Structure 1
Amino acid sequence: MTCCRAMTVALPDFGGVGDGVTSNTRAFQSAVAHLAQAAPCSSGGGQLYVPPGRWLTGSFNLTSCFTLYLHRDAVILGSQDMSEWPIIDPLPSYGRGRDAPGGRYSSLILGSNLTDVAITGDNGTIDGQGAAWWSKFRSHNLRYTRGYLIELLFSDQILISNLTLVNSPSWNVHPVYSSNVIVSGISILAPVNSPNTDGINPDSCSQVRIEDCYVVSGDDCIAIKSGWDEYGIAVGMPSRQISIRRLTCISPTSATIALGSEMSGGIEDVRAEDITAVDTESGVRIKTAVGRGAYVKDIFVKGFVMKTMKWAFWMTGNYGSHADEGFDPAAIPVVSGISYSDITASNVTTAGRLEGIPGAPFTGICISNATIEVVKSKKAPWTCSDIEGATTSVTPPPCSALPDQGGAATPCPFPPERLPIDMVELKECSSLVPH
């Protein structure tokens, strides 16, 4: 995968003014449109260079075979003028906006049906200026769902790297219905009490690699999704073959990695390793409910270090929040094949809260080589219901539904073969910016 392009232009060439006050929405739109014509894929594509400055803008679309490159001292600022975030249709697999029924505001940087797109730089910044959005959301003064910082739909070959994302109105990075996605070297920062500022949310995506990222968030640091209730079931597009490695997360009220709750297209073959969580509510959290349907299966986690957590392990089959009353009460999700190994955790309130669905237990839960230092409490270190599985070398001893298999038992599995997306090499260009 490469972000090298045949043509590079700079934002000021299209009237951009980096004073933090002047709107650059038309400049971004004009620059992208110019490159789409002057540097098509057949000629090697084009790059838009954002130089030092504070570049205020509303929503703008990208094009194929395109790189958006931010200088280290460049800041893209999300406009505070809500009219610069146009209203767009709900996602097909959601049927409505997540914040409110009906449409949703555009994301700041977006695109659909694209191939070979890079959003990168020398650790430049994209600032959503989300405080006003958070205030309106909390006071129920928004008719539509908040936009995200970056959203790419129905696209292939996406690279998002070497950037700092701050203060998104809602989710930060949202690839949806897309494939071959790499998110690398990203820092995501938001106040820990900001609403729904998830870090990276692959949604109905396949072949995704998330690596070397640092996330401080008011919601889940990583949330893997695939649509909501009957809408996600109808689209039927799972998230699968996802690799997460070398992630550091801080989120006192949410999860390091969440699976769901919108998982109605299915989630499978997720591999997470070398993960660190500090002052975070839970490690890997599975969130589903009757009405979601589909499955969460073949989830592999190893090498997880947790410090100051409410729960080390948490999964639930009674997570409500339906899109509408049209969900199918017979759509029972299947959760199976969940493996955790090589886990250390300190200053933890509860080791595990594992709650399946009555009559449809979560099965194949495996935990091996896990040491969890639980703070003194009158509560039991584990609570379990409607689950089945086994453990090896776990402290404190888990509930009876997860019997210890003895020290000689085989550790929980983690696939030895690499995913195709893990073998994609990133190519650096010798000349990325105009002189």
Structure 2
Amino acid sequence: MDVLLLLLALMVALPSLSVVESRKSPVLNSFQYCAVSCRAYGASLIDFGGVGDGTTLNTNVFQTAIDHLSQYSSNGGSQLYVPPGKWLTGSFNLTSHFTLFLHKDAVILASQDENDWPVIDPLPSYGRGRDAQGGRFSSLIFGTNLTDVVITGDNGTLDGQGELWWQKFHNGELKYTRPYLIEIMYSTDVQISNLILVNSPSWNVHPVYSSNVIVQGITILAPVHSPNTDGINPDSCTNTRIEDCYIVSGDDCVAVKSGWDEYGIAYGMPTKQLVIRRLTCISPTSAVIALGSEMSGGIQDVRAEDIVAINTESGVRIKTAVGRGGYVKDIYVRRMTMKTMKWAFWMTGNYGSHADNNFDPNALPVIQNINYRDMVAENVTIAATLEGLSNAPFTGICISNVTIELAKKAKKVPWTCTDVAGISSGVTPVPCDQLQDQGPEKIGACTFPEYPLPIDDVEVQTCTYYKNF
């Protein structure tokens, strides 16, 4: 826990608060925080009758407040302040030109009553829910067709109270797919920052069919054996930046996706122009960064750097299968540190989970131009397992300046390579023959683009909250 607190202190710059003490709780006058957009109007949840006692349901309060504040969307925008307290709620919907801000002692507590979670249609690029056929429960914080939305705080908390949902999943009692903590769909200009997310029923942060997305300074905590508690899953998104996040999870810390089998192929919306930097991950059963397995709309131009993995199954994993179609190409990873891993690198074309039996067996994925460089790893069981497809080999793999220190009980053969092709330089232990050694003079053979993506040009500004409701 001391390490976590230190990381949080280093990663997150907290806003400056100005309060007046009352007998019950601090009464806010004003405060400043950082966001990509500032707002002209502000109100507190208690202005609409919110009760933060952990037992009173506030779903209607949240929705009434947001619906009221939506009138200012074309007149400077609005912000809703969630003060200290435990605010029990079911799913609620955001609006455009809007900021939701959580005080550091505010907890948005997810209801455990299924009746508080509307059922919505499955994603068109998936064709079905992830847990069950048909619909899915709306996320705790949900938004669709939005422009300019900010979800932030000074490390306030979203608590998904996921244990009940995990038990239902394990017992086969789910009629619909479990809710996520945050899902933003069909939207542009999205910021999710400076929050603590704990015990999500399933995925934590899911931007989908969206563009210009920033996820920054997020701490995600879930039991390492909780099912499918992925950290951050950009899905069919363009121009996304994920940075300065700390994730402990029962599944992949970042899972890059773009639709499932024939549904993802038909929808045809790739994830591209994705930046991942300064990420710390602990996930003993999954990957730091997973590309797929639902990648049927394509994944292209992913840049990850300055990553730390601790006690995690794999560093970078590409998951695909016959029937996926799509592509994973132009992937660049550098400056990664891995400690206590099963695999450093893992690629497989045999990840056979399918939406249904209607997938096209001739829809073969294309995996090419995968670059890993400047990495160190220690206490690793298997350096790499790289398994392409015989009728669709993975090509253009480049690994350079990588040192992997094997564990005492490591596998006798550290590299396994089938149906792959590429090059290597300055890699220890020596890779398989399919990654042709270019010699020490080619230590910088694997590229990493130095030109910025558009999302890198988006800057935060200092905003001021004050009540004028």
1:293 to 311, 321, 325: 325
SS in 1 for 2:462: coil
Match of 1:315 among 347, 353, 359: 347
Look up the match of 1:78: 110
Task: Give the number of equivalent residue pairs.
Answer: 433
Q: Distance in 1 between matches of 2:329 and 2:163?
A: 37
Shift of 1:431: 3.6
Q: 2: CA distance between counterparts of 1:268 and 1:256? A: 18
The 3 A distance-change label for structure 1 pair 237 and 202 is: same
| C-alpha displacement of 1:363 | 0.2
Equivalent-residue separation in structure 2 for 1:4 and 1:432 (angstroms): 11
Q: What code does the residue aligned with 1:147 have? A: P
Contact 1:8 1:434 in 2 (8 A): yes
Deviation at 1:432, TM superposition (A): 5.8
- Cα displacement (A) at 1:434: 7.7
Contact 1:393 1:407 in 2 (8 A): yes
What's the counterpart of residue 427 of structure 2? 394
Per the alignment, residue 333 of structure 1 pairs with 365
Aligned counterpart, 2:231: 199
Q: Deviations over 1:135-178 (max 9, x none)?
A: 00000011110010000000000000000000000000000000
CA offsets 1:309-364 (integer angstroms, 9 cap, x no match): 00000000010110001100000000000000001000000000000011211000
Contact 1:10 1:434 in 2 (8 A): no
Q: 2:215 aligns with which of 183, 186, 209?
A: 183
- 3-state SS of the aligned residue for 2:169? helix
Whether 1:365 and 2:397 are equivalent positions in the alignment is yes
Cα deviation digits, residues 198-247 of structure 1 (max 9, x gap): 00000000000000000000000000000000000000000000000000
Cα separation, 1, equivalents of 2:77 and 2:464: 16
Match for residue 349 of structure 1 among 359, 381, 397: 381
- Contact 2:258 2:295 (8 Å CA) reproduced: yes
Q: Where does 1:31-430 land on structure 2 (aligned, <5 Å)?
A: 31-37=65-71, 39-40=72-73, 42-376=74-408, 377-409=410-442, 410-430=444-464
Secondary structure at 1:429 match in 2: strand
Residue aligned with 1:399, SS: coil
Return 301-310 or 400-409, whichever deviates more: 400-409
Gapped runs of 5+ residues in structure 2?
1-34
Higher RCO (CA 8 Å, separation ≥ 6 residues): 2
Instruction: Give the Cα–Cα distance (whole angstroms) in 2 for the partners of residues 293 and 432 of structure 1.
Output: 51
**Partner of 1:194: helix, strand, or coil?**
coil
Letter in 1 for 2:47: D
Change (3 A) 1:203 1:214: same
The secondary structure found in structure 1 opposite 2:70 is helix
| Alpha-carbon distance in structure 2 between the residues aligned to 1:196 and 1:328 | 26
1:49/1:433 contact within 8 Å kept: no
**In 2, Cα distance between the equivalents of 1:190 and 1:428?**
31
Give the match for residue 18 of structure 1. 52
| Aligned partners of 2:41 and 2:467 also within 8 Å | no
Over the residues paired in the alignment, what is the CA RMSD in angstroms?
A: 1.1
Shift of 1:379: 2.7
What whole-Å deviation, never above 9, does each CA across 1:274-297 have from its counterpart, x for those lacking one?
A: 000000000010000000001000
SS of equivalent to 1:233:
helix
Q: Does 1:6 align with 2:63?
A: no
Deviation of residue 49 (structure 1)?
0.3
Per-residue deviation, 1:378 = 4.7
In structure 2, how many angstroms separate the alpha carbons of the residues matched to 1:199 and 1:365?
27
| TM-score, L = length of structure 2 | 0.91
> Cα offset for 1:4?
1.3
What is the SS of the residue equivalent to 1:116? Answer: strand
Q: Deviations over 1:14-58 (max 9, x none)?
A: 111000000000000000000012x12x21111010000000000
Q: C-alpha distance in 2, partners of 1:434/1:383?
A: 63
Letter in 2 for 1:9: A
* Matched position secondary structure for 1:210: strand
- How many angstroms apart in 2 are the aligned matches of 1:48 and 1:99? 33
User: How far apart, CA to CA, are the structure 1 residues paired with 2:88 and 2:436?
Assistant: 57
CA distance 1:278–1:329, change in 2 (3 Å):
same
Q: Is this contact kept in 1: 2:217–2:244, CA < 8 A?
A: yes
Query: What SS is found at the alignment partner of 1:137?
Result: helix
* Contact 1:4/1:432 (8 A) holds in 2: no
